[in-house]
Structure 1
Amino acid sequence: TRWKYSLAYLDDVIIYSTTFKEHLIHLNDILNRLNDANFRINVTKCQIARTSIDYLGHHIQHRSIRPNADNIRALLETQQPTSAKEAFRFVKAAEYYRKFIPGFSTIAQPLHQYAPTTKEQRTKKSQAIPITLSDDALDAFNKLKRILTNDLVLRIPDQNLPFKIQTDASKIGVGAVLMQTHPNG
């Protein structure tokens, strides 16, 4: 039954179910397991029987997952980087949502050149040195921001539908996607 209806990340636990009746059964099971393991729950932080929830930077609602709107807004408000630290910080923040962006590695590759790779580059002084983004890096920055303005959504897998695997590779990136075609898009 592992991961069939619950996930945990550190101290954040989410229980997901198809029906309310099923949810009560799942909730009871997880609460019993937590109790048996001597875990304590802060009731004021619990949200039970929700049809939508924000969890780990994602908005989850009725078989779909979207990036958290506040996090996307913050990325869209990012000004053009003027230091290696700013460029690297932007690409790492955008990378959190890479599963929503087909070809993310290839698009973001020009921004990764600003990643600190040596001990000297990791110093605060080195990371604060003003830079001008290369044309490729500026294009990548703008393209990622443009993509983030779309309605990015992933669906929860439907075990009753067939799965497809799509793969791709190039000199600068490798990717694979497990997909399903849903009757209603």
Structure 2
Amino acid sequence: IVDLPAPTTLKEANEFLGKINWYRKFIPNFARIAAPLHKVTNKTKHHRHEFRWGPDQQQSFDEFKRLLTTYPLF
């Protein structure tokens, strides 16, 4: 998880969200942390070319990686 690269496509971002979603009940403030990721993944098929990974998404991504590798999840 620590070495996981940041998503570069809408598909990769959606896959990451799908994988971490199982942990939502174990991570406090999951929705708040995930909000920047949802902001760029809530695209329709016709707008997926608008995918932009910015500093807010990177911060959210890094925070999830930190929580999943250091926080006592259970």
TM range, smaller chain: 0.7 to 0.9
Matched, 1:152 2:46: no
Q: How much does 1:132 deviate?
A: 4.9
Mapped pair 1:81 → 2:13: no
Question: Whose Rg is larger?
Answer: 1
User: Which of 98, 106, 120 pairs up with 2:24?
Assistant: 98
Does the 8 Å CA contact 2:40/2:52 hold for their aligned counterparts?
Answer: no
In the alignment, residue 61 of structure 2 is paired with which amino acid?
Answer: F
Task: State how far apart, in whole Å, the 2-side matches of 1:114 and 1:132 are.
Answer: 7
Aligned CA-pair RMSD: 2.1
State how many pairs are aligned.
72
Q: Paired residue for 1:136?
A: 56
Q: Percent identity?
A: 38
Write the letter of the residue equivalent to 2:6: Q
> Quick check: which one's strand share is greater?
1
Structure with more of its chain in helix, by fraction: 2
The correspondence of residues 153-168 of structure 1 with structure 2, limited to 5 A, is 153=74
TM-score, length-scaled by structure 2:
0.80
Change (3 A) 1:130 1:83: farther
Show structure 2 runs of 5+ residues with no match.
none
TM-score after normalising by structure 1: 0.35
Cα displacement string for residues 95-117 of structure 1 (whole angstroms, at most 9, x for unaligned residues):
11101100000001000022244
Quote the residue 1:107 is aligned against.
33
Give unpaired runs (5+ residues) of structure 1.
Answer: 1-75, 154-185
Structure with the larger RCO, 1 or 2 (CA within 8 Å, 6+ apart) = 2
